[in-house]
């Protein structure tokens, strides 16, 4: 659901390929506080859940729309994400 949304918004294209991503299974930890509306878990109870970290490439001119698509499609109140600049060998020639 979330990957489909970010791919539809323009993420995951690289050198003649589409829907490219890297996924790592891990354990997420959080404790919902008063005032939160957790998708998973109970308020004031520490939760440990299996989650996937998904990394993909995004063109700079589409980052904002891709992030909006991610936030809209993700079930969590506030999904975690990072934006990094990626360099290739062509950037050094």
By DSSP bridging, strand 47-55 and strand 22-30 are antiparallel
pLDDT digits (tens, 9 = 90+) for 9-44: 999 999 999 999 999 999 999 999 999 988 888 899
pTM tops 0.95:
no
The pLDDT of residue 88 is 87
Better pLDDT: 40 or 55: 55
Answer whether 11's CB lies under 8 Å from 62's CB. Answer: yes
- Return the CATH number of the domain spanning residue range 2-92: 3.30.70.120
Quote the percentage of the chain above a pLDDT of 70: 100
At residue 93, does pLDDT exceed 90?
no
């Amino acid at each position: 659901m979330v990957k489909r949304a970010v791919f539809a918004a323009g993420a995951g294209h690289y050198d003649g390929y589409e829907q490219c991503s890297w996924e790592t299974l891990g354990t997420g930890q959080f404790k919902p506080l008063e005032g939160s509306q957790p998708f998973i878990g109970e308020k004031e109870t520490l939760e440990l859940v299996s989650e996937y970290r998904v990394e993909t490439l995004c063109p700079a001119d589409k980052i904002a729309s891709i992030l909006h698509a991610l936030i809209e499609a993700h079930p969590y109140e506030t999904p975690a994400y990072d934006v990094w600049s990626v360099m290739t060998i062509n950037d050094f020639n």
